Structure formats: C-alpha cells, structure tokens
Amino acid sequence: MKSNHWQEYMCALTALLRALSFRGAAGREIGAEAGFRQWQRLTFRVRRERKTVFLIGNGASASMASHMAADLAKNARLHTEVFSDLSLITAISNDLGYQHVFAEPLLRRARAGDMLVAISSSGASPNILAAVRVARRCRLNVVTISAMKATNPLRRSGALNVYVPAATYGLAESAHAAILHHWMNLVELGR
C-alpha cells in the first residue's frame, strides 16, 4: 500500500481483518468465529487450572505481548508472563545466542497446560520458532499470530494459527493488535 490517505489505510486494514485465517494444528481452516471461540475456551481452561499465559514477540510484537499480558492479568484475571527483563535478555543473548532468548526461560518456567502466544509479523523469527518448539515439547497450548508470507513456518506450528495476509509491518502489527484485543475482550467479558 503506497497511499498516504487515512481512508485507504483503514480500508486496507479492514480488508486484512476480513481475510483473517484461523487454522488448527492439522492446517485446516476453521474460520474466525470458531477460531476465536476455541482460543477463548483454551484460555478459560488456563485460568480455571491456574496455569500461565506466556506471550512472546520481537520489537513491536514484544510491545504487544507486554501490553496484552498486562490487560489479561488486570482485566481477565489470568496469570501472564513475558520475558522482557533486560538482564535476562542480555544474559541469554550473550551466553547462548539471541535465538534462545524465549526458549531458554520458557523451558525452565513452563508447565503442561500453560499457553504460549507467539506473535511474529514475518512468522520466520528463529527465536520465536525455537520457543514454539520448546512449548510443544512441554505440552503447552500454542497459539501463533503471523502475517507476511502465507507459507511462513510459524503459521503451521501451533494448535491454533492466526494469520493475516499483510505485506507491511505496519498493517501486520495493526491487525495483530486488533486480534489480540478481541481475544482479550472475549476472555474478559466471557467470564
């Protein structure tokens, strides 16, 4: 999208959200409404069983992860965790490599039945993919949120996989924020 007009941007964002894809673990389309309901049920189970929702992302996706962790804890009464401690990030990055920045603490803190929400515009970030592999080994409920290429590896890595066909980071991030807020509202209001 090369236009600077607000209405065109909003139309493009609306079109992306209408094109939202929800796929299950087997890669089958399940539709947005069914996908959000399934995500809501999984989240209710996490809360009922006093488990943790881990949220991860890089850059703007890290900001969204942190924001959603706060909203879910405050408004939806969930135990949440993000790995945003600068000492932890730099220690792991320095000693093990940045690709382990989420996988390493997740390996130590996750319990079966927890949830990992992995946010990546490209769907190809090595550190996000490494964390998803750890989460699956630890039997977490993995929800992925991605954009860019429809063939990105994150899109086929979770129990639920949310994808928008955004070609730019701005549109991907705006769509992801709307998706995350809708999920949080479903959990908060669906008590």
Asked whether the predicted pLDDT for residue 67 surpasses 60, the reply is yes
* Residue positions counted in the chain: 191
Q: List, in order, residues 6 or more apart from 81 with CB less than 8 Å away.
A: 52, 53, 54, 55, 69, 109
Beta carbons within 10 angstroms of residue 174's beta carbon = 20
pLDDT at 36 (0 to 100): 97
What residue ranges do the domains of the chain occupy?
A: 20-189
pLDDT at 190 (0 to 100): 83
Domain 20-189 CATH assignment equals 3.40.50.10490: yes
Helices and strands: H and E segment counts in the chain: 7, 6
3-state secondary structure of 117: strand
The whole-chain average pLDDT of the chain stands at 96
pLDDT digits (tens, 9 = 90+) for 30-45: 999 999 999 999 999 9
Q: In the chain, what percentage of residues exceed pLDDT 70?
A: 98
Distance CA 62, CA 85 (A): 12
Asked whether the predicted pLDDT for residue 17 surpasses 70, the reply is yes
AA letter at 183: W
Residue 61 tokens read as 């996706």
pLDDT digits (tens, 9 = 90+) for 47-60: 999 999 999 999 99
